[in-house]
Structure 1
Amino acid sequence: MPSHGRVGKRRAAAETRRDAEFAAFVAGAGGRLLHSATLLAGDPEDADRLLGTALARLYAAWLRLDGDDPYQWARCELFVRYAYRPWWYHPRGGLLDGLTAQERLIVTMRYFEGIGEEQTAALLGMARERVAAIAARGGATLRSRPAPPPGSPRPRPRATWAVGP
């Protein structure tokens, strides 16, 4: 009869390894993911909630990633969570203030994250031409803003996400 003690030890070792790998991933990629979440949400508290949800889902799936890039997985989860917010949600503030939620999403994906048009379209279930049009409209809105006066204070960077005590 097999001993259940060995299975429990293997599971505990796998969970310990997962925790260490996940903590290292968040330490390395958390800042960039938080910046993307802040661009999307505008409000720092909304960005923290959005990123927390994406990271919680990544943590739950960590052992099933099977060689997939965890950054790409977390980034996609972040974008999908944002894309499926309620229809009445309108982000306010931040660097992308004045853009619609859809424009924020596509501008962040295309210009900050550097995701190609076709990949963005596939992830969001849109035609490539629609993604291009929304990106162009969002870019035009951002370019039409007046430049900040020289010497104006720049926004201070926020602390990055961290896992652990």
Structure 2
Amino acid sequence: MRERQADRQRRRAQEFEDFVAGAAGRLLHTATLFTAEPAEPAGANLRALRLLTAALAHTYAEWDRLRGDDPYDRTRQELVIRFARDAWRHHRPRGGLLERLTPQERLVLVLRLYEGVAEEQAAALLGLPAERVRAICTRAVGTMYAPPEPPEHPGRPGRPVARLLRGAR
């Protein structure tokens, strides 16, 4: 009896390790896009790594109950849930590619365009109407195509740089 249970545990651990070996890179990239962290040379963005680790731990805890469900979809769903729950912490600009977007816009854009999740599926995952997901995605794409706002001069807000230079003489 113990041998059978030990064998089942080993098989479960091996299945999970195989899943992580195949999916962890893409899931880490997704988590990095969610958090809008800049790409690190070693690929280890701390916040994204924590988010992914928590999502994978949840997937492992439910591994036996998946019963035919796609573990990648379940882990991605857990990433979305964990990021959305803590989104208020992830709104500060970090210098990443998607830093100009709100957390909700990042979620929708990454799910729809990077992950290729259907509009209806993304809406169900986020608990939003499909029309709202479409509008958020359109707004996010518009924001990404729009030229970035010029940085304000640290002296006085709204004061043109040319006037500052003239006044410095």
TM-score scaled by length of structure 2: 0.78
Question: What does residue 94 of structure 1 align with?
Answer: 96
Q: Return the alpha-carbon distance in structure 1 between the equivalents of residues 87 and 36 of structure 2.
A: 16
Partner residue, 1:41: 35
Alignment-derived partner of residue 67 in structure 2: 66
The structural deviation recorded for 1:77 is: 0.9
Cα deviation for residue 95 of structure 1 reads: 1.4
CA offset digits 1:4-62 (Å, max 9, x no partner): xx1x2222111101111111111101100000000001231110000000000001111
Shift in Å, 1:86:
5.3
Once structures 1 and 2 are overlaid, which stretch shifts more, 57-66 or 88-97?
88-97
Looking at structure 1, the residues matched to 112 and 11 of structure 2 have their Cα atoms a distance apart, in angstroms, of 34
Whether the aligned pair in 1 keeps the contact of 2:87 and 2:103 (CA below 8 Å) is: no
SS in 2 for 1:74: helix
Runs (5+) with no aligned partner, structure 2: 38-44, 149-169
Contact residue 16 and residue 60 of structure 2 kept, 8 A: yes
Provide closer, same or farther for how the CA distance between residues 29 and 88 of structure 1 changes in structure 2, counting only shifts above 3 A. Answer: closer
Distance 2:88 2:140 in 1: 19
In structure 2, how many angstroms separate the alpha carbons of the residues matched to 1:57 and 1:120?
20
In the alignment, the residues of structure 2 paired with residue 52 and residue 82 of structure 1 have an alpha-carbon distance, to the nearest angstrom, of 12
Q: Which runs of 5+ in 1 are unaligned?
A: 1-5, 147-165
Matched pairs, number: 140
Aligned residue type for 1:76? Q
Residue 85 of structure 2: aligned partner: 84
RMSD: 1.4
Pick 1 or 2: higher relative contact order, CA cutoff 8 A, min separation 6. 1
Aligned to 1:54: 55
Aligned 8 A contact 2:33 2:106 in 1: yes
1:82-161 correspondence to structure 2 within 5 Å? 82-85=83-86, 87-91=88-92, 92-145=94-147
**Percent sequence identity over aligned pairs:** 52
Distance 1:88 1:27, change over 3 A: closer
Name the SS of the counterpart of 1:87 in structure 2: helix
1:20 matched to 2:14? The reply is yes
Deviation at 1:108, TM superposition (A): 0.5
Q: Is the 8 A contact 2:119 2:133 kept in 1?
A: yes
Does structure 1 retain, via aligned residues, the 8 Å contact 2:108–2:122?
yes
1:56-78 per-residue CA deviation (whole Å, 9 max, x = no partner) reads: 00011111111111111111111
